[in-house]
């Protein structure tokens, strides 16, 4: 029996995610080229990201029919079981026979034929109980965190943290949002051409919806915008709306000297460069040369004003003689605000890493502040929703930095309000300390944090 292209792609991507520590979104982007039929690309994406999002729940269901847990099986066998179980539990349009039989073929293809009968038997049992509510088979002794962790497939330690901060209702909404496919949001390269770009995308067969936060943003469905002529011509970029909002908080003016400290992959740099214009100076820095080269190719596609690229370690004193009017530090972080987009993060992150990120982020923010010109503004941001990486970092650095203060909340609100979609309230996104927050399950975006400091 032949294995469908979609299932083979999903299996191969998952094997690299688990075996090499790769990221599924990157692998899918590079794998799902023009030669892959749109229907196969859609199913491969659904299977890959669905299995990653629902891994804990799938393993819980599978373990009930295994003498030893899924985690103790050879990786090819575990992946075939998860792919089959995901289809049986979540994809009603796929016949059970196809889900079972092709999973058996996957283990044979992986030279694990001895496990074929096991995969067949277990998945047939999963098929029988696929409509049974999971709640009915959860152990009675489970805590609230353990129960929600299984039902919504997140690590129990992370669920426990969120329950303590947000309560059960907000935590449940967050968990549910993490398990939905995120909106595929875009930004027009030239806001004045937004209507023309939207019309061209719709003519190409894509569905376009208005942004939920930003006036110029829009979301695309019904296909991949990266395959469109508008994308190839550099007239749009693909970027979550909360991420699009971050560079706007800097209030860059024409002619400003701007530093983007951790610039890769470059989505925020684009907005900074356009705001600074041909009379400004924009330096985009990153620690890794290969990421800078990828950015250079992207900027060339977009036809951006010249951006100077620089490889550096942002935890050390920065090597600039002159200072900058505007600095963006979009710091490396845990990524807990992006678990819908990058579901593998939830299985890799460990509690102790939050403290490690905090230490790294404090060093970077100290170094970046040293390059801020008098009267300048620095925005510190992350795609984390954890206070150790957000409020705590800014508070620690501000306590020890003389002559540095917060940009007041009313100024932050005014800066952001000019870019918001009709009906969106800037005060709902900016807290009393002038800090920007979004949370999955509330704004239909990734979870982001930003705070602005000034000299």
- Catalytic positions are 383
**Tokens describing residue 300:** 């060339």
Q: Write the CB contacts of 203 (distance below 8 Å, at least 6 apart in sequence).
A: none
If DSSP states are collapsed to H, E and C, what string results for the chain? Answer: CCCCHHHHHHHHHHHHHHHHCCCHHHHHHHHCCCCCCHHHHHHHHHHHHHHHHCHHHHHHHHHCCCCCCHHHCCHHHHHHHHHHHHHHHHCCCCCHHHHHHHHHHHHHHCCCHHHHHHHHHHHHHHHHCCCCCHHHHCCCCCCHHHHHHHHHCCCHHHHHHHHHHHHHHHHHHHHHHHCCCCCCEEEECCHHHHHHHHHHHHHCCCEEEECCCECCCEEEECCCHHHCHHHHCCCEEECCHHHHHHHHCCCCCCCCEEEECCCCCCHHHHHHHHHHCCCCEEEEEECCHHHHHHHHHHHHHHCCCCCEEEECCCCCCCCCCCCEEEEEEECCCCCHHHCCCCCCHHHHCCCHHHHHHHHHHHHHHHHHHCCEEEEEEEEEEECCCCHHHCHHHHHHHHHHCCCCEECCHHHHHHHHHCCECCCCCHHHCECCCCCEECCCCCCCCCCCEEEEEEC
| Token digits of residue 243 | 């991420």
Q: 5-20 vs 38-53: helix axis angle to the nearest 10?
A: 40
Residues contacting 187, CB < 8 A, separation 6+: 214, 216, 217, 236, 237, 239, 244, 270, 271
Length of the chain in residues, anyone? 455
216 Rama class: left (phi>0) / alpha (psi -120 to 50) / beta = alpha
Cα torsion 13, 14, 20, 22: sign = positive
């Amino acid at each position: 029996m032949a294995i469908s292209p979609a299932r083979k792609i999903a299996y191969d991507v998952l094997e690299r995610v688990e075996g090499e520590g790769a990221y599924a979104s990157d692998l899918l982007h590079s794998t799902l080229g023009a030669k892959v039929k749109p229907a196969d690309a859609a199913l491969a994406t659904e299977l890959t990201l669905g299995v990653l999002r629902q891994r804990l729940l799938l393993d819980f269901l599978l373990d009930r029919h295994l003498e030893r847990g899924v985690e103790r099986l050879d990786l090819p066998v575990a992946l075939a079981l998860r792919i089959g179980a995901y289809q049986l539990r979540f994809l009603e349009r796929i016949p059970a026979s196809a889900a079972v039989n092709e999973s058996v073929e996957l283990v044979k293809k992986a030279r694990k034929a001895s496990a074929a009968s096991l995969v067949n038997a277990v998945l047939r049992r999963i098929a029988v109980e696929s409509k049974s509510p999971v709640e009915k088979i959860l152990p009675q002794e489970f805590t609230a965190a353990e129960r929600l962790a299984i039902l919504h497939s997140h690590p129990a330690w992370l669920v426990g943290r969120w329950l303590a901060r947000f309560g059960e209702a907000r935590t449940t909404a967050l968990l549910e949002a993490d398990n939905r496919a995120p909106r595929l949001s875009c930004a027009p390269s030239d806001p004045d051409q937004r209507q023309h770009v939207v019309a061209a995308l719709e003519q190409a067969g894509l569905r376009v919806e208005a942004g939920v936060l930003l006036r110029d943003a829009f979301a695309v469905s019904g296909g991949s915008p990266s395959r469109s002529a508008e994308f190839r011509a550099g007239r749009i970029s693909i970027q979550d709306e909360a991420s699009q909002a971050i560079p706007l908080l800097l209030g860059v003016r024409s002619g400003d000297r701007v530093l983007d400290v951790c610039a890769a992959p470059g989505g925020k740099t684009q907005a900074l460069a356009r705001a600074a214009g041909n009379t400004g100076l924009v330096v985009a820095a990153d620690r890794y040369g290969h990421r800078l080269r990828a950015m250079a190719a992207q900027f060339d596609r977009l036809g951006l004003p010249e951006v100077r690229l620089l490889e550096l370690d942002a935890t050390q004193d920065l090597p600039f003689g002159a200072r900058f009017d505007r600095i963006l530090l979009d710091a490396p972080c845990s990524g807990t605000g992006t678990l819908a987009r990058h579901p593998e993060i939830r299985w890799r992150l460990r509690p102790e890493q939050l403290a490690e990120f905090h230490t790294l982020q404090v060093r970077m923010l100290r170094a970046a502040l040293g390059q801020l010109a008098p009267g300048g503004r620095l925005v510190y941001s992350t795609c984390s929703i954890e206070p150790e990486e957000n409020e705590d970092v800014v508070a620690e650095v501000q306590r020890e930095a003389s002559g540095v203060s917060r940009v007041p909340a009313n100024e932050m609100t005014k800066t952001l309000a000019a870019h918001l979609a009709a009906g969106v309230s800037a005060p709902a996104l900016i807290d009393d300390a002038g800090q920007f927050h979004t949370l999955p399950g509330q704004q239909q975006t990734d979870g982001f944090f930003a705070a602005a400091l000034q000299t």
